Amino acid sequence: MHTDIAEILFDEAQLECIVNSLAERINKDYSGKTLEIIGILKGSVVFLADLIRKLEIDCTLDFITASSYGAKTVSSGKVRLDANMLPDLKNKHILLVEDILDTGSTLAGIKNIVYGKGAFSAAVCTLFNKPSRRKKPIKAEYVGTDIPDKFVVGYGLDYNDRYRNLPYVGVLKPEIYTGINKIKE
Ligand code: PRP
């Protein structure tokens, strides 16, 4: 285990189990349809890479960039979105893929953009959900699992862009973002 991690919340086998059950539901719900998958950069990439390889439906893959945390452990609430890479979404079924749904600010902004581009539907698939922190009325159709309000990293989730490469999801030691062991920003 990485020395900056206090405890592992989900190991590789547990994550695989969660991904498999999400993929199973998506395969069933979108059977016979074409799904436009939109990954929300950067946190979703590891989860997304595993999820799409379990999908058997007809699908395409695009990305949108969103950023709200900066070098902090809580969302700033101000979301910067870059949708330049998105294609025409008119009448398409969209699945927005997130690593974590926290205040809901990111997804609220992205849903506006996606519906503004004429999407027929825009469902949300998130690996983790922190319902206790919600500020916007966003609900995810596909939730891997609810988690407590702890700062988690790994499997794509970061602190200050670090730890995305950890194959498990763990709680970051508080001294990493406060005090003398704080990593450089
Ligand atoms: C994180 C996460 C979600 C968002 C969730 O992204 O990946 O996109 O915050 O928070 P919210 O529900 O409060 O909006 P972040 O801004 O840290 O960028 P990253 O994906 O590049 O790490």
pLDDT per residue over 154-176, tens digit each? 999 999 999 999 999 999 999 99
- Stated pTM of the model: 0.93
Instruction: List, chain by chain if needed, residues with CB within 6 Å of any ligand 1 atom.
Output: 40-43, 66-69, 75, 79, 98-106, 158
Answer whether 16's CB lies under 8 Å from 72's CB. Answer: no
Contacts of 172 by beta carbon, 8 Å cutoff, 6+ apart? 4, 5, 6, 73, 151, 152, 153, 159, 163
- pLDDT tens digits, 116-151: 999 999 999 999 999 999 999 999 999 999 999 999
Question: For the chain, which domains are there?
Answer: 5-177 (3.40.50.2020)
- pLDDT tens digits, 42-91: 999 999 999 999 999 999 999 999 988 555 666 666 788 988 889 999 99
DSSP 131: G
Give yes or no: 29 in active site.
no
Instruction: Give the three-class secondary structure for 7.
Output: strand
Nearest-atom number in ligand 1 for the CA of 67 is 16
Mutate which of 63, 100, 136 for ligand 1 pocket (most atoms within 8 A of beta carbon): 100
The pairing of strands 80-82 and 5-10 is unpaired
| 65/77 Cα distance (integer angstroms) | 15
Q: 12-29 and 45-52 helices cross at what angle (nearest 10)?
A: 60
